[in-house]
Structure 1
Amino acid sequence: MKSKTLATWLAFLGGPLGLHRFYLHGPGDWLGWLLPVPTALGLFGVERIRQLGVDDQLSWVLVPLLGLVIAACALTAIVYGLAPQEKWNARHNPGAPAEHPAGRTYWLTVFGVAAALLVGAAVLMATIAFGFEHFWQYQIEEARKISQ
């Protein structure tokens, strides 16, 4: 039986590594194997910022990948946590009765949804701010080059 609470927390905490996908769909899930790629690229961008500073243009592209993956996994955790018990069991526990406890919403599920909402929204807003700030800095630098 696939627990809705466990899937919610796996999507929130281990989502960028694809842990929730492996839990729900098994080790053959191709999306679960692809999720670590943008996560690793984003972490590489963070490391480039630490080594080269915030003026590194490649990191401007790579860091938002990490933020978008974290925000998408937080959204996935919210969707999992808010799924009705009957739909959860029909989709992830076929053959089980609609009222099986694996699809029930517990307080731990609610806390997982709340944490995913809080962190996911903060990460998404930070990612958007980071991306737009560096985009406009690049535009200003290019305009200065043209004007001189």
Structure 2
Amino acid sequence: MSSRVSNSPRFRSKTITAALAFFFGSLGAHRFYLYGKRDIYGWVHLICTLLGIPGVLLLVASERASTLGWVLAVPGAVSLFAAFLSAIVYGLRPDEKWDAQFNAQTQQRSRSGWAVIFVVIFSLFIGAMLLMTGLALSFQTYFESQVQAAKALSQ
């Protein structure tokens, strides 16, 4: 008697996917939920986040002066912003289109409610806020470095 794991298709919730993208998207949780452990983009999310954490710590420790910190922080930031964007895209997809792509083999159908709308709202708000903060810090650092370079040239 062999103990076999059933390969029957499983239902994938749009609300759970959007919430995973919002809370743990930079770790690739939404990708692993939808496509399994073999999803290359889920692993890319995870690796980029693991690179981004020491990058941000280097930037904080060096007061944004570390080139290596910037190089490491960018992939982490891209992963984070892509996760918020994924939460918005998945959350706004119509239930019929979602079911056609992810639940075509199951009998269960999606019925999204207010929870997914709140996930989309918070993803848009927090993602936009983080993007604006990142851009402001990047431009401030760039212009401060230009002022320092000009001072060094004038001396």
- Letter of the structure 2 residue corresponding to residue 142 of structure 1: A
* Maintained 8 Å contact 1:67/1:123: no
* Maintained 8 Å contact 1:68/1:124: no
Q: Percent sequence identity over matched residues? A: 39
Corresponding residue number in structure 2 for 1:46: 56
**Structure 2 unpaired stretches of 5+:** 1-10
Q: Does 1:72 align with 2:82?
A: yes
Of 1, 23, 40, which aligns to 2:33?
A: 23
Distance 1:70 1:133 in 2: 21
Distance 1:11 1:80 in 2: 9
Corresponding residue number in structure 1 for 2:153: 146
Of 135, 140, 148, which aligns to 2:142?
A: 135
**Structure 1 unpaired stretches of 5+:** none
Distance 1:112 1:70 in 2: 15
The structural deviation recorded for 1:72 is: 1.7
Distance 1:59 1:71 in 2: 18
State the Cα RMSD in Å: 1.9
Distance 2:119 2:134 in 1: 22
Corresponding residue number in structure 1 for 2:109: 101
Give the helix-richer structure, 1 or 2: 1
Residue deviations 1:20-60 (CA, integer Å, cap 9, x gap)? 00000111100100112221222112211343333333323
Distance 2:77 2:137 in 1: 10
The TM-score with structure 2 as length reference comes to 0.83
Q: Does 1:124 align with 2:131?
A: yes
